[in-house]
Structure 1
Amino acid sequence: MLKQFLSKLPRRAAKVDSSDSAHSPDAAHKSNGRSPASASRSTGPKRASAAVFPASVIGGIEPLMPFKDVSISEEMSLFVSKLSLCCVTFDFTDPTKNTMEKDVKRQILIELADFVSSGSVRFTEPAILAMCRMCAVNLFRVFPPKSRPKLAAASSGENDNEDDPVFYPAWSHLQLVYEILLKFVTSSCLDAKIAKKYIEHSFILRLLDLFDSDDPRERECLKTILHRIYGKFMVHRPFIRKAISNIFYRFVFETEKHNGIAELLEIFGSVISGFTLPLKEEHRIFLSRVLIPLHKPKSLGVYFQQLSYCVTQFIDKDPRLTSVVVGGILKYWPVTNSQKEVMFLGEIEEILENINMAEFQMIMVPLFWRIGCCINSLHFQVAERALFLWNNEQIVGLVAYNRHEIVPIVLPALERNAHDHWNQSVLNLSLSVRKMLLDMDEVLFLSCLAHSQEEQERMRREAERRNEAWARVESAATRQPLVGNIAVLVTPLAASISC
């Protein structure tokens, strides 16, 4: 079997079949071993195509030789030879198949990782080409469609976030390939001016496609590699930002299904911290059209921490964006989802801790109107989280300075809680905040309390008048004779008598 494995070496470029494609679904299934059909067609290892990157001519060097047994001038040729050998992929769905060949390839991958990290020789252009080709053959693949979309699971009331992660059987090889690629990108022996011709837009797009992987280990590796590519290849930075934005657009406005949103936001969190002032219009558009709408999907809890970090990074860069952020959050406020409401209140508290007075005064009226609604929520966790805002000294200071506008908004909600909320903890917290407002400005508190009581009395009288008016209408309708096809109002009492 070992001889069969070595016989698959692509030693001559002229013999490579250019009709095969490493980007095709078939090559993808061969790489990760997820296609049982391909496994049934062949029992031996598969040689991936060189259609993505041109195959390079390899000198007559035995690829199984260790690097220490060749001269420095031959190391790069041996490196290319070993990379070409690693383009042979295997079916991992059957652990008993090609075990010797898999072990040989694993040992070669370990050798390659050690050689790349040693930084002993500067990478030549054929070596860069061979590295990109090997990574494309082993990593780039098309994931099968989800058997059960997350949106359908969410609509059926199931918590899809608690499902166990999927671990690919081919990870023993994939992990080493990712390790080699990471060390290669970060190596000081790699000339970015040459490498950008091969680590180019199509290569980056295929890397981004892999973020939808079900295996969290793969997404973590991709996050680190893409971040290093963004840092090393400045020419690709605008393209990477645009490509990630397109993934977010599809997620928010089309599918609401993607496994790598949290990792992509984590990359953007570090990218935002490097933005220079004044912010470009591109970055402002990204905030308003991408980050803020990302509050909308049902799966917000999966990536909320990373999203909140990105939003606060923007506000730290330019505090004038606070009103835009808070306005957008209020627009997407989840009035029918209590868990998301609790998360939104936590994000609001984080924003208010660093807001300046001018920006706060622009958004305080609609914001505290929404907070007042949360205080009266029948879900005790939402009501508690809204009342906990008064434990923050920064927020209390903002409320105290603008008490003439805020106290009239929140006091009626506190009064309703203090009289008839079902949860004892919420009731006690409401009384505590009520006392805080009383101590803050007694005259204003009593004035607002009297106005609230008058308003409640006025609403009670209007409700009574409406009930009396409807009672008169019903009474008059019951006395009308039933003539022709004229529709009349029948009260429950009249219906019971007629029966």
Structure 2
Amino acid sequence: MLKQFLSKLPRKSSKPDTIESPRRGSGNSSSSNSGDDGGGLQRTTSGTMVSIRSNATKRTSSVVFPSSVVAGIEPLLAFRDVPSSERLNLFISKLSLCNMVFDFTDPNKSTTEKDLKRVTLIELVDFLASCPPKFTESAMVAMCKMCENNLFRVFPPNYRSNSGGSENDDDEPMFDPAWPHLQIVYDLLLHFVTSSLLEAKVAKKYINHSFILRLLDLFDSEDPRERECLKTILHRIYGKFMVHRPFIRKSIGNVFYRFIFETERHNGIAELLEIFGSVISGFAVPLKEEHKIFLGRALVPLHKPKSLGVYFQQLSFCVTQFIEKEPKLALNVIRGLLKYWPITNTQKEVMLLSELEEIVEGINMGEFQKVMVPLFWRIGCCINSSHFQVAERALFFWNNDQIVNLIAHNRHVILPIIFPALERNIQCHWNQSVLNLSLNVRKLFTEMDDGLVVACHAHFKEEQANLSVAAEKRKETWEQLENAASLQPITGNTAVLVTVLPHFVHSLSTYIYILVGETVYMTSQIMFCALGFLRGKPHLSASI
């Protein structure tokens, strides 16, 4: 059947071992594929390799790949059937044959050609896995061109998730229908990059900045298998091509900046952070200013997006690596975390508390004292959280011996900040586990310094009493003001006071007045009446 199909194609004889590669159009893969005229190789019955060219019409490919010319493909000679001196030429010809891209959304379309291309790709992988000859520039060009045609593409809007990275584990990832071929191409690229026979000084002209940028664009793929392959390949490129290292770091930083400050939508942040985590481990000490700026401008603000849970583990590892390299950076990180602290997202609060504990555990006494006041003020707020997981995670700080040692040496500053939160939990927190933990923390402080606990408790009771007196006085003042206002006759330009039920009266902000008439006249009436009572001269209000 295959021979009958191929016999219908027009043939053009050529010299043996002639490579008929597709024409390269503009810089993007769409134009290069659309310019392909179906060039390929076919072996005749005599063993001579001739070029074939198909006049097949163009077909529309899947949303994943640009349009391409689909033509008949026949496997070339096996590598074992040609002399060693000709194997590199055969390698190039097979790469040229694999430049054709098919539609994978329809599994019944071009099945024979897809299978033949897959077999050819597997042969190329096996060839690179064995002992190939030293790569020439022609082989490098053919390899990069084949990867560009098969891998580089623009993801349509409907291909991306609307949420831009969800924290819901129940959301199933989208798998690319072309993955059976993409996986082999990625495996081929990985073998090519890691080959000891590839000279970085020569290959850097082809695996250049443009190639790396387009490789980074693929990290937005929703297929986790593709992102995993990209992570491995980009890390190997970073390790092999030292000349490209600053550019790769800068480009990854640009992806982070766009994600933080513009879109908050990207599928590959976790993988890029994982790459950067291994990069940070290789930084020399003392750190360059460039790396410190990256920590402050990219890694710390990455705690702000709502999808933090997707990449939190990798981000926390990167931050910890920086602090291990230079402990003084812990101050900037803690201040940054407090700056971007979530107000309503309790899951993020739990994550940031765990990261704070890991950071505080590793800093020295001097650095701790510089940041302990705002830090424990925030921890105190978390202790009083009505969400029991946040309160529990904050109270777990006292299970860490290193942190307890830091607290013990600075208890005269920390306990007055924390004690009111502990007492409020003991008095009225709804969760029994949080209540018990609060009691344990107060007991721990009592064992440290009983006199300080007694003084803090007395100060707390005094503050509570003062707050009660102030609230009662404020309530009485407003009641007098309400009564005085109710005695005034109602005219066309007089304010009407709506009485508020006592159980709604907590502060000045709980009063709502419905004002009728001229605004200026109304305001002067209320202010004049209030002034008379506050000065102890109710006759002023009576004279109005």
TM-score between both structures, scaled by the size of structure 2: 0.82
2:72 aligned with 1:64: no
2:474 aligned with 1:466: yes
Contact 1:384–1:426 (CA under 8 A) maintained in structure 2: yes
Cα deviation, 1:424-444, whole Å, max 9, x if unaligned, reads 111111111111111111111
From 213, 223, 236, give the equivalent of 1:205: 213
Relative to structure 1, is the Cα distance of residues 228 and 18 closer, same or farther in structure 2, using a 3 angstrom cutoff? closer
> Quick one: distance in 2 between partners of 1:130 and 1:479?
95
Give the stretch that moved more between structures: 446-455 or 165-174. 446-455
Contact 1:315–1:322 (CA under 8 A) maintained in structure 2: yes
From 13, 29, 34, give the equivalent of 2:63: 34
Relative to structure 1, is the Cα distance of residues 232 and 20 closer, same or farther in structure 2, using a 3 angstrom cutoff? closer
Cα deviation, 1:246-298, whole Å, max 9, x if unaligned, reads 11111111111000000000000001111112211111111111011100111
> Quick one: distance in 2 between partners of 1:144 and 1:281?
38
> Quick one: distance in 1 between partners of 2:102 and 2:322?
46
How far the C-alpha of 1:490 sits from its partner, in A, is 2.2
> Quick one: distance in 2 between partners of 1:274 and 1:8?
56
Relative to structure 1, is the Cα distance of residues 25 and 408 closer, same or farther in structure 2, using a 3 angstrom cutoff? farther
Question: Taking every aligned residue pair, what percent have the same amino acid on both sides?
Answer: 63
> Quick one: distance in 2 between partners of 1:24 and 1:330?
47
Contact 1:31–1:138 (CA under 8 A) maintained in structure 2: no
Amino acid at match of 1:126: S
1:304 corresponding residue in structure 2: 312
SS in 2 for 1:88: coil
Contact 2:328–2:367 (CA under 8 A) maintained in structure 1: yes
Equivalent residue runs for 1:142-181 within 5 Å? 142-146=154-158, 150-151=162-163, 162-181=170-189
2:24 aligned with 1:24: no
1:124 corresponding residue in structure 2: 136
SS in 2 for 1:162: coil
Contact 2:383–2:422 (CA under 8 A) maintained in structure 1: yes
> Quick one: distance in 1 between partners of 2:239 and 2:65?
39
Give the stretch that moved more between structures: 68-77 or 188-197. 68-77
How far the C-alpha of 1:475 sits from its partner, in A, is 1.3
Equivalent residue runs for 1:428-439 within 5 Å? 428-439=436-447
2:113 aligned with 1:101: yes
Amino acid at match of 1:131: M
Higher relative contact order (CA 8 A, sep 6+): 1
1:50 corresponding residue in structure 2: none
How far the C-alpha of 1:356 sits from its partner, in A, is 1.2
How far the C-alpha of 1:162 sits from its partner, in A, is 3.2
From 481, 487, 501, give the equivalent of 1:479: 487
How far the C-alpha of 1:458 sits from its partner, in A, is 1.2
2:332 corresponding residue in structure 1: 324
From 402, 406, 411, give the equivalent of 2:410: 402
Amino acid at match of 2:492: G
> Quick one: distance in 1 between partners of 2:72 and 2:221?
23
> Quick one: distance in 1 between partners of 2:128 and 2:296?
42
> Quick one: distance in 2 between partners of 1:4 and 1:339?
65
> Quick one: distance in 1 between partners of 2:331 and 2:267?
31
> Quick one: distance in 1 between partners of 2:98 and 2:9?
11
From 90, 94, 99, give the equivalent of 1:87: 99
How far the C-alpha of 1:470 sits from its partner, in A, is 1.3
> Quick one: distance in 2 between partners of 1:282 and 1:35?
37
Amino acid at match of 2:94: K
1:447 corresponding residue in structure 2: 455
Amino acid at match of 1:285: I
Amino acid at match of 2:396: F
2:432 aligned with 1:387: no
How far the C-alpha of 1:75 sits from its partner, in A, is 0.9
> Quick one: distance in 2 between partners of 1:474 and 1:148?
60
2:426 aligned with 1:418: yes
How far the C-alpha of 1:161 sits from its partner, in A, is 5.3
Relative to structure 1, is the Cα distance of residues 23 and 408 closer, same or farther in structure 2, using a 3 angstrom cutoff? same
How far the C-alpha of 1:119 sits from its partner, in A, is 3.0
2:381 aligned with 1:373: yes
Contact 2:24–2:32 (CA under 8 A) maintained in structure 1: no
2:89 aligned with 1:74: no
Relative to structure 1, is the Cα distance of residues 4 and 354 closer, same or farther in structure 2, using a 3 angstrom cutoff? farther
Please identify the structure whose Cα radius of gyration is greater.
Answer: 2
Contact 2:72–2:113 (CA under 8 A) maintained in structure 1: no
Give the stretch that moved more between structures: 206-215 or 120-129. 120-129
Give the stretch that moved more between structures: 376-385 or 29-38. 29-38
How far the C-alpha of 1:3 sits from its partner, in A, is 2.6
1:216 corresponding residue in structure 2: 224
> Quick one: distance in 1 between partners of 2:143 and 2:206?
9
How far the C-alpha of 1:385 sits from its partner, in A, is 0.7
> Quick one: distance in 2 between partners of 1:359 and 1:35?
52
1:3 corresponding residue in structure 2: 6
Unaligned runs of 5+ in 1: 48-61
RMSD: 2.9
How far the C-alpha of 1:120 sits from its partner, in A, is 3.1
Contact 1:119–1:187 (CA under 8 A) maintained in structure 2: no
Contact 2:32–2:149 (CA under 8 A) maintained in structure 1: no
Contact 1:119–1:188 (CA under 8 A) maintained in structure 2: no
Q: Which structure is higher in helix share?
A: 1
Give the stretch that moved more between structures: 275-284 or 182-191. 275-284
> Quick one: distance in 2 between partners of 1:136 and 1:226?
15
SS in 2 for 1:339: helix
Amino acid at match of 2:6: K
Unaligned runs of 5+ in 2: 35-57, 503-511, 513-544
Relative to structure 1, is the Cα distance of residues 243 and 424 closer, same or farther in structure 2, using a 3 angstrom cutoff? same
2:525 corresponding residue in structure 1: none
1:52 corresponding residue in structure 2: none
Amino acid at match of 1:34: V
1:140 corresponding residue in structure 2: 152
How far the C-alpha of 1:221 sits from its partner, in A, is 0.1
How far the C-alpha of 1:6 sits from its partner, in A, is 9.1
How far the C-alpha of 1:32 sits from its partner, in A, is 7.5
